[in-house]
Structure 1
Amino acid sequence: MSNPLINETSPYLLQHAHNPVQWYPWGEQALSLAKEQNKPILLSIGYSACHWCHVMAHESFENPETAALMNDLFVNIKVDREERPDLDKIYQMAHQLIIQRAGGWPLTMFLSPKEHYPFFGGTYFPPQPRYGMPAFTEILTKVAAFYHEHQAQINEQNRSLAQALQGGYESGAPGSIQINAEPFNQARAQLGQNFDHTHAGFGGAPKFPHISNIERLLHHYVITARQSKPDEQCLHMALFTLKKMALGGIYDHLGGGFCRYSVDELWMIPHFEKMLYDNGPFLGIYSEAWQLIETESPLNSASMGDLFKRTALETADWVIREMQSPEGGFYSSLDADSEGEEGKFYIWTPAEVKSLLDEELYPLFAHHFGLDKPANFEGNWHLHVYHERKDMDLALSEVDARLDKARDILFQHREGRVHPGRDDKILTSWNALMIKGMATAGRIFGREDYLKAAEQSLDFIRNTLWVDGRLLATNGKAHLNAYLDDYAFLLDAILSLLQARWRDGDMAFAIELAEVLLEEFADTAQGGFYFTGHNHETLISRPKSFADDSVPSGNAIAAHALGRLGHILGETRYLEAAEKTIQAAWSSLMQMASGHTTMLLAVEDYLFPPQTIILRGDPETLKIWQAVCQKNYAPQRLSFAIPTGADDLPGILANRKAEGAAVAYVCSGYQCSAPIMSLDELTKVLFETK
């Protein structure tokens, strides 16, 4: 038994290909069928690693009686939200407008067959009445009856929803806004109000990483420190949150990598899925936080620095080991479940651990990870650091040696368990986030293997997903045109990788991506960028949002990357596009600055243009000069080491000629100094502008 999903390539859709539900992928076949039969559409959006998606599938979609009712009353469409983020964005917003609360996954929406506007929806529905919700079968019957009996009411709601969806993406006209620093202070105040001073993080349970918030706090600290008024509390919020997450159960202490979020305020028990789009930014932020701690003497903390470095390196190693395909691209996610149970792969009992560790290792391991405390996850133990390494009664070197040995023993044993499922889709935008994370870690820690992993992913995208001058969103069927996030994130990633090492052709590729951004996605009238290209399938709405969600805002990354590329090349079109995007976002930004922390990176570059350093010379000398330029955490500094042999350089890079063993061209915003011929002089300039 199979349904039309059997011909898809998405692992998530294929999971449902043998349901008794007559599922269709989103497309002309299903949409035409609904219109012809005048049946409402049941749209179900989920993804492979989603625990409650699996629960609803098992309870309802695999049930023959429920499936028969769905097939009789609806045309049923399954969507992988990772393949079709355009549909997910639209219908998540529609859910919030109709139900008046945030959505999630699985998303269950009921659409009119002609216009495809939703008239009712929800997320997870149980098979029997519980959690204050009616049974899914009852929902199905009542929704179908409502559709056929209340057409006029549905048509009126559709008109209102269309206006509301359009209004949600309205923006200010470019040129009418005076960009200023006020949102920095607003974001800082809002983050301070939401900060959990006891357990770190922002808000209560469930707790999400909000890495862009942490990045904002680090940037804010640097800005205030430059003004001789360092915001120490701001820095504490960032570092304390990073520390608590690295010690918490949201981090995999045996295999590396972070889970999606914590279900409790202590960061103890995660939702066990591991997403590529989280771990790329995690890798970058821990690397940069380590760099800040190591190079700012007042902050130097050996224990925190060691923790952040270990966390970054173990995360990168996990990604290369388990998430990189032989062809170079990075896979999307690991499931929350294994053997039908959430978290089963990760949990332990003290007896099991004791049977694997000797009398020297077990007491220390148990004390460190809380195996001597009550069970913390459904009668079992999930590893969470209760006592830090520095607080043990042994020398730190001995603690490290014993814990590392114990962790390796348990990791090898865990490898024999049934692993969580892996979604092996390769998504362009998520790969870009990991390329940037790998490039950052590789540059800061001097790890050539991380840079190679980033290069392999970039090469996979360019060789496989760059077709006729346009990106594809994912591997598999070549019918999914790329979205704003794909172009913006990849442009940003290439600029990060170029700062770790120069490679001929990468800058040219970055320029090609920038040109498609302007040609295909720009709103030339109002500023900013649409989520879908001008030639994309027409849907009920064309999103153009500026706030961050589970990933950074595509508009924000586009503005930030285009602005930086504009400074590097001296290309005013890119700078103007960045400025217009900020102006378009300004109204939304001022309403809730802390929800737009990535956009604040673009604002920061607009108000305090970055320092751009172009190094030319022989490769060995350039390594020394580049190391000096990149030693400190300096987020407003861009440094590129271009060897003498590089030619056909674009823009003003063509004027940065090699002279002698090495030469540095330093520009601060729109002002450039004379070429610098000695490392001592360059060091002096860097010290003055740190």
Structure 2
Amino acid sequence: MTKGPQPNKLISETSPYLLQHAFNPVDWQPWGEEALDKALKEDKPIILSIGYSACHWCHVMEHESFENEAIAQLMNDHYVCIKVDREERPDVDQVYMDAVQAMGLNGGWPLNVFLTPEQKPFYGGTYFPAKNWAGLLENIAEAFIKQRQELEDSAEKFADHLGGSVLEQFSLSSPESSFSLAEISSAAGRLLPKFDTIWGGLQKAPKFPMPSIWLFLLRHGHATNSQQLVDHVHFTLIKMAQGGIYDQAGGGFARYSVDGEWFAPHFEKMLYDNAQLLSLYSEAYQVTENPLFKEVVYQTVKWLEREMLHEEGGFYAALDADSEGVEGKFYIWTQPEFEAIAGDQKEFIKDYYNISENGNWEHGRNILFVTDAIETVGGRHQLPIAQAKQALAAFNERAMQVRASRVRPGLDDKILTGWNGLLIKGLADAAIVFKEDKFGKLAFNCASFIKSKAWHSGVLHRTYKNGEAKLYGYLEDYAATVDGLIKLYEASFDREWLQFAYLLSSKVMEEFFDNEERLFYYTSSKGEKLIARKKEVFDNVIPSTNSIMAHNLHKLGLYFENNDYLTLAEEMTARLKLLILTEPDYLTNWAMMAGQLAKPTAEIAIVGPGAGKLAGELQQTYLPNKVVAVSEKETDALPMLVDKKMVNEKATVYVCYNRACQRPVGTIKEALSLIV
């Protein structure tokens, strides 16, 4: 009787990505003391291979190389082979991604890095075709024996680079610098020449949503009455919502489009993108009142509920790009498949979604995407708008029924605390803008999940699966959760969430803060020690953890009248001033913070019976640079509410700047007239 393939040491892990590799013939081990000690004991170089479950090219390299017996033998003979899920261990990914980029190589995933037994990197890259990978394995194994000193010297140089000061590396500004709106307008102006005026976004391919860029431009454009900025954001969000990057039938955005037209997505769906896009589309709706943006929010939340929600209230990490080994197969349509469900308004639907007999994409298949508004397409087919919308909704419903019978993409069913923090914020934003109780309830349940499952023994944990929370939380987990909790307070005015946010921020100050550079480390002083302790300052598809913390400290400083927090938020942002003004592309969350510091934040306190109702009315006006505290009682212990009294025994609104309050008023109309 022949034995089937035997598992390696990844079989005991909970990460779906690591489990995908558990039956490779490579002797993979998870990152940890056992594997690192083995490399030292056997004096072997380490292959560190980093990816994530929804990564298409990770799957390709696994199939071509890591399932290849001959290549696996090379790896096992000469190396200690370690697999890392970058979503579970962003600290490890961050260190070695920086190293590969310092080598002058492009970063990305899969990330494959060669380390000395002491964990110091000396070579790396991303995806390697099988033949190239086999050749590289042989060459490095030989060099490790014959040119060991050269490799050690190179590794030492990269290790020194990784441990360098952020202040020195990026020539950061003085913490005493301040901002003017004119300077921030100048930074926004640097993005103008990069706008894609035909397809929206910036002129580049592939195209990522990059929510913080558009949120910054929306807020700054609104604050300075720059219609050009607001219009480009509006145009970009329309084009994204119409593109193949958005799942037209089922809701939710893919991670990016491979082209510059938002047409052909890389079909993986990540929780962090969709969380932030809920916030962006909700805010944009307040400014533009475009009904398309409301539809996107509602449809995306419906997808999150249907496909990403864990029964305990948290949300899963990601959906794979592939099903049945084919990228996008779950989402695309042949002409016959389309015809079978097209219905009575076949020609209209075909025109609206750009269905082609020969396929608008690869291999005769079609991606659903929109180029003209429904009113325009309906007009071409003499369909009244109500009838056109009805036909479209009916088609989408049939399409979802067909998809329900298809083989689903893989689900990464771990729950990541930081990404759930982003989603709490997205859901709370949507609850505020659309006055939708269901969105608020989902946000509440998610926050309750984090508080009860991820937070225990004074530690916020990174990941949860199979009833167990594990891994010491990173700054992303703390910062994004605090951000979400503050927004949940603004949606519900339930003090529990503001107090929890304040508690978590106190932990961040204790365990992550570098008093010398006045910025935060990515890892806790109580977490695992790597060869370098990094700080994250650049905003990317997720804003940098330091920029999120600056926003958090500013808001909590106002709510709790904590001058240390307010001063630190200003100092952190000032540190980045030179970069914000000269290279804003990857500092837009910082630029948003600078905008709030350039113009005083409105501190709005509402007290007395009916205060919550008044707050809900206030929140229908687009005022991003504010904090709102509410109590239905006249006396309240929250510092921002202390000594705020009712006038004439009615709910009363106080508008304050820098703790100096203007005359109390009884209506939102009067309050708005006091906001500068």
| Fold similarity call, TM over 0.5 | yes
**Structure-2 change in CA distance of 1:591 and 1:40 (3 Å):** farther
1:689 aligns with 2:675: yes
2:275 is matched with which residue? 280
1:455 to 432, 444, 464: 444
8 A contact 1:528–1:581 mirrored in 2 = yes
- How far residue 646 of structure 1 moved from its aligned partner, in angstroms, is 8.6
2:30 is matched with which residue? 25
8 A contact 1:559–1:582 mirrored in 2 = yes
Identity of aligned residues (%): 40
8 A contact 2:173–2:578 mirrored in 1 = no
2:105 to 101, 107, 110: 101
1:249 aligns with 2:244: yes
In the superposition, the TM-score normalised over structure 1's length comes to 0.92
8 A contact 2:558–2:640 mirrored in 1 = no
1:650 is matched with which residue? 638
Query: Which deviations, in whole Å up to 9, do the C-alpha atoms of 1:213-236 show, x marking residues without a partner?
Result: 1011111112212xxxxx221112
2:391 is matched with which residue? 402
> Bigger CA drift: 71-80 or 590-599?
590-599
2:514 is matched with which residue? 523
Counterparts of 1:116-515 in structure 2, within 5 Å, are 116-128=119-131, 135-167=132-164, 169-170=166-167, 172=172, 175-181=175-181, 184-225=184-225, 231-294=226-289, 305-358=290-343, 360-372=344-356, 374-378=358-362, 379-391=364-376, 392-393=378-379, 394-476=383-465, 478-515=469-506
- How far residue 536 of structure 1 moved from its aligned partner, in angstroms, is 2.0
CA distance in 1, matches of 2:308, 2:371: 29
8 A contact 2:322–2:409 mirrored in 1 = yes
CA distance in 2, matches of 1:150, 1:657: 77
1:301 is matched with which residue? none
8 A contact 1:504–1:646 mirrored in 2 = no
AA of the residue aligned to 2:229? C
**Structure-2 change in CA distance of 1:102 and 1:177 (3 Å):** farther
CA distance in 2, matches of 1:176, 1:311: 42
2:44 is matched with which residue? 39
AA of the residue aligned to 1:124? Y
CA distance in 2, matches of 1:525, 1:607: 25
CA distance in 2, matches of 1:366, 1:664: 53
2:74 to 58, 69, 89: 69
8 A contact 2:245–2:255 mirrored in 1 = yes
1:535 is matched with which residue? 526
CA distance in 2, matches of 1:62, 1:159: 33
> Bigger CA drift: 316-325 or 70-79?
316-325
8 A contact 2:461–2:471 mirrored in 1 = yes
**Structure-2 change in CA distance of 1:178 and 1:293 (3 Å):** closer
2:577 alignment partner, SS class: helix
- How far residue 662 of structure 1 moved from its aligned partner, in angstroms, is 1.4
CA distance in 2, matches of 1:186, 1:68: 57
8 A contact 2:209–2:256 mirrored in 1 = yes
8 A contact 1:56–1:124 mirrored in 2 = yes
AA of the residue aligned to 1:125? F
2:59 is matched with which residue? 54
CA distance in 2, matches of 1:176, 1:686: 32
* Structure 2: unaligned runs, 5 residues or longer: 1-5
CA distance in 2, matches of 1:528, 1:174: 13
CA distance in 2, matches of 1:519, 1:398: 60
CA distance in 1, matches of 2:415, 2:641: 33
**Structure-2 change in CA distance of 1:25 and 1:263 (3 Å):** same
- How far residue 117 of structure 1 moved from its aligned partner, in angstroms, is 1.3
1:3 is matched with which residue? 8
- How far residue 176 of structure 1 moved from its aligned partner, in angstroms, is 4.8
1:666 alignment partner, SS class: strand
2:166 alignment partner, SS class: coil
**Structure-2 change in CA distance of 1:183 and 1:422 (3 Å):** farther
- How far residue 627 of structure 1 moved from its aligned partner, in angstroms, is 2.7
> Bigger CA drift: 256-265 or 579-588?
579-588
> Bigger CA drift: 606-615 or 17-26?
606-615
- How far residue 178 of structure 1 moved from its aligned partner, in angstroms, is 4.2
* Structure 1: unaligned runs, 5 residues or longer: 129-134, 226-230, 295-304
CA distance in 1, matches of 2:577, 2:372: 45
CA distance in 1, matches of 2:7, 2:295: 46
1:689 alignment partner, SS class: coil
Query: Which deviations, in whole Å up to 9, do the C-alpha atoms of 1:350-369 show, x marking residues without a partner?
Result: 221211232x2211110100
1:636 is matched with which residue? 625
- How far residue 508 of structure 1 moved from its aligned partner, in angstroms, is 1.2
- How far residue 449 of structure 1 moved from its aligned partner, in angstroms, is 0.8
Query: Which deviations, in whole Å up to 9, do the C-alpha atoms of 1:8-67 show, x marking residues without a partner?
Result: 111111111111111111111000000111110000000010011111111111111111
AA of the residue aligned to 2:207? K
**Structure-2 change in CA distance of 1:363 and 1:20 (3 Å):** same
> Bigger CA drift: 394-403 or 635-644?
635-644
> Bigger CA drift: 649-658 or 459-468?
649-658
CA distance in 1, matches of 2:295, 2:173: 47
AA of the residue aligned to 1:140? L
CA distance in 2, matches of 1:234, 1:12: 40
- How far residue 422 of structure 1 moved from its aligned partner, in angstroms, is 0.6
1:602 to 568, 588, 593: 593
1:110 is matched with which residue? 114
